[in-house]
Amino acid sequence: MASANTKEKPAPGEIVAVLRRVLSENAREYLPLYGLAVLCLLAIAGATAFIPWVMRPLIDDVFYRGDFGLIPLICAAVAGVFVVRGLATYGQAVILAKIGNNLVARYQQRIFDHLMRLGLDFYTDTRSGRLAAQINENVLGVRDMLSMTLKSIAGDAVLLVALVGAMIALDPVLSAIALLIGPPLIFVVNKIMRRLRRVARASVEVNARLVGAMQEATQGIAIVKAFTMEEQLSAKLSQLIAEAESQANKIARVSERVTPISEILAGFAIAGVIGYAAYRASVGGEPPGSVFAFITALLLAYDPARRLARVQVGLERSLVNARMIYELLDIKPHQRDMPGAKELDVGKGEIRLDRISFGYAPGLPVLHEVSFRAAAGKTTAIVGGSGAGKSTLVVLLQRFYDVEGGAILIDGQNIAEVTKHSLRRQIAYVSQHPYLFEGSVRDNIRYGRPDATDAEIEEAARLAHADEFIRQMPEGYDTLVGENGVTLSGGQRQRLSIARAIVRNAPILLLDEATSALDNESEARVQEALDEIMKSKTTIVIAHRLSTVVDADHIVVMEEGRVAEEGTHRSLASRKDGLYARFHRLQSERGLGLVDDAAMAGEAAFDRENVK
């Protein structure tokens, strides 16, 4: 995204540029409704501008000359004006609300679709809580900008022109006196806007941080309480709240400066008009009807003039919001399908890594020319200490990032040359941190394959050893899981995640530490479920616990981003000086079914020093 510093000094025509973009993207869709809204606004303007013309005959003919026969006609005209104003005001309000609500919905959908196209690199650099808060706050800017522009141009501007025209027709000299406030008011408003532009953006960013921090604190409430972080987070939130309050007060002070200035200037103008009109009436003996009609037009014109003076204040704030939305929408996905990319055609499902190199940041490589083959329909396990690059391989196999060198081939097809969607459709993935979404148990399993039948979902749950506990839930498969399945145990969430992978029925299965966070009983049940899903599929297993990979058809041992050795459990364990044998010996000596990362890394480093 562009930096805040560059955005604090936008080009003079930026409002027009952003407004033009918003209109070009949305105006055609709403043209009929905007037409109706404009007709309503014109009706309001015409009816309001008619009021001063009723005042002159009312004062001169009825009250000054005593022609009371005009009263029914004048009363009917006044009643008609307010009927038209009432109906037109209701019509334009409903129409603009309908357009605005639909605009918000369209941009929310558009932003979500765009976020789904962005790669993991974007989410690595962006806090999800702050992103959600920023979207919620900024998406209203587009709606407000369009509604405000239409009301100011088709409503207030037309009304002001009509009333100023009436004022000039009624009395050109008094009109000149009244319009003297225009130039100083425009100068002051422009000066205020330059200041408001900066504080409005700062306010949006502070509020996004505040709402994001609140969201993250509630999502991690178990950790907050476990580490007694309440006071720390409360202090952090207090600081953000105070900053947000300060920015809101600053916006109020800046934006509301228009009101006293416009009121003072209008007061001097109206006083001048009344004084000059009284002088003319006393010297020239003119009847008061024209003056009263003029003052009525002037007072009626003051309201749209005041709104027009403030409209730029609102537009500036809407501009900041709309501009930040477009900053997000203009982010280009770093990882795209190649031109002419084909669908991945998986037959046997053989996976081959050919000298792949990769790093998440420039100059910090994670993998160095890694090569190995995962045979079709077999299980390949990848083991090694933390930082060896195991999970990175899973990320690259799903093409969440592109490799920097080498190639990943599935049945001889380079995954960089096929569509990402077709690649991921052929893969079922089970993470060590299962994620459940809003909805029912059935919904969460069905995310694996949207067209799965209820019978297929229940069969997948049975194979995942989840059917029993699901049926004990209050509403069975229709039970809502709560936020990320908070009401379920870790083993239950993992088994639902496995059921999701089973129902996907993909030829390739990726298991990333699928049992590492579970207790022994849960691990046993989950491992049974995994044994079911792994049959006849090309499976890659990332594991720390060697007990989960001893039956693998092939084991790849990683160390510092390189393949250290390969083979079966029996062949690798028999190599006395091998890395896997040391891992296995350490596990056996401790009598544990797992290998401690630090111990593995430490022993590997110790052995490397001995070799030297």
Give the whole-angstrom CA distance, residue 387 versus residue 364: 12
Residue 567 backbone dihedrals phi, psi, to 5 degrees = 150, -170
Q: What per-residue confidence (pLDDT) applies to 575?
A: 85
> Does residue 457 carry a pLDDT above 90?
yes
Degrees (nearest 5) of the Cα angle 368, 370, 371?
155
DSSP 545-559: -GGGTTT-SEEEEEE
Query: Is-contact 382 558, C-beta < 8 A?
Result: yes
Give the whole-angstrom CA distance, residue 516 versus residue 594: 9
Give the whole-angstrom CA distance, residue 158 versus residue 166: 12
Give the whole-angstrom CA distance, residue 166 versus residue 50: 9
Confidence band, pLDDT 50/70/90 cuts, at residue 589: low
Q: What per-residue confidence (pLDDT) applies to 455?
A: 94
> Does residue 603 carry a pLDDT above 70?
no
* Radius of gyration over every alpha carbon of the chain, rounded to an integer in angstroms: 36
Per-chain mean pLDDT for the chain = 79
Query: Is-contact 247 195, C-beta < 8 A?
Result: no
Angle between helices 14-57 and 289-329 (to 10 degrees): 160
Cβ-proximal residues to 611 (8 Å cutoff; 6+ apart), any chain: none
Token duo for residue 89: 């005001």
**Of 122-136, 325-339, 412-426, 495-509, the least confident:** 122-136
Torsion on CA atoms 560, 565, 566, 569, rounded to nearest 10: -100
Torsion on CA atoms 517, 519, 522, 525, rounded to nearest 10: 90
Q: What per-residue confidence (pLDDT) applies to 129?
A: 64
Identify the residue whose tokens are 């890659």.
540
Cα–Cα distances in Å, from 476 out to 459, 461, 492? 14, 12, 14
Residue 393 burial class via C-beta count within 10 angstroms: exposed 0-12, middle 13-18, buried 19 and up: buried
Q: What is the pLDDT of residues 355-371, one digit of tens each?
A: 999 998 888 889 999 99
Query: Is-contact 65 289, C-beta < 8 A?
Result: no
Give the whole-angstrom CA distance, residue 331 versus residue 335: 12
Q: What per-residue confidence (pLDDT) applies to 612?
A: 35
Residue 430 backbone dihedrals phi, psi, to 5 degrees = -125, 120
Confidence band, pLDDT 50/70/90 cuts, at residue 134: low
Q: What is the pLDDT of residues 382-419, one digit of tens each?
A: 998 878 888 899 999 999 889 999 999 999 999 999 99
| Distance, CA of 184 to chain centre | 41
> Does residue 344 carry a pLDDT above 80?
yes
| Distance, CA of 132 to chain centre | 5
Q: What per-residue confidence (pLDDT) applies to 611?
A: 35
Residue ranges in 220-338 assigned as alpha helix (H): 221-226, 230-255, 258-284, 289-329
- Nearest one of 340, 393, 381, 310 to 545, comparing CA atoms: 381
Give the whole-angstrom CA distance, residue 104 versus residue 114: 15
Q: What per-residue confidence (pLDDT) applies to 509?
A: 92
Residue 234 backbone dihedrals phi, psi, to 5 degrees = -60, -40
Give the whole-angstrom CA distance, residue 548 versus residue 532: 14
Q: What is the pLDDT of residues 155-195, one digit of tens each?
A: 777 778 888 887 787 778 777 777 777 677 767 766 776 67
Residue 339: CB atoms within 10 A of its CB come to 5
Domains delineated in the chain:
15-329 (1.20.1560.10), 344-426+506-568 (3.40.50.300), 438-504 (no CATH)
- Nearest one of 53, 288, 298, 338 to 174, comparing CA atoms: 298
Token duo for residue 300: 């009626």
Single pTM value for the model: 0.68
> Does residue 463 carry a pLDDT above 90?
no
Identify the residue whose tokens are 């141009």.
153
Identify the residue whose tokens are 């500036």.
316
β-pairing, 413-414 with 427-431? Answer: unpaired
Q: What is the pLDDT of residues 7-34, one digit of tens each?
A: 444 444 666 777 788 778 877 888 888 8
**Of 91-95, 302-306, 313-317, the least confident:** 313-317
Cα–Cα distances in Å, from 222 out to 217, 494, 610? 9, 19, 45
> Does residue 92 carry a pLDDT above 70?
yes
Residue 602 backbone dihedrals phi, psi, to 5 degrees = -65, -40
Q: What is the pLDDT of residues 224-249, one digit of tens each?
A: 777 677 888 888 888 888 888 888 78
Q: What per-residue confidence (pLDDT) applies to 284?
A: 64
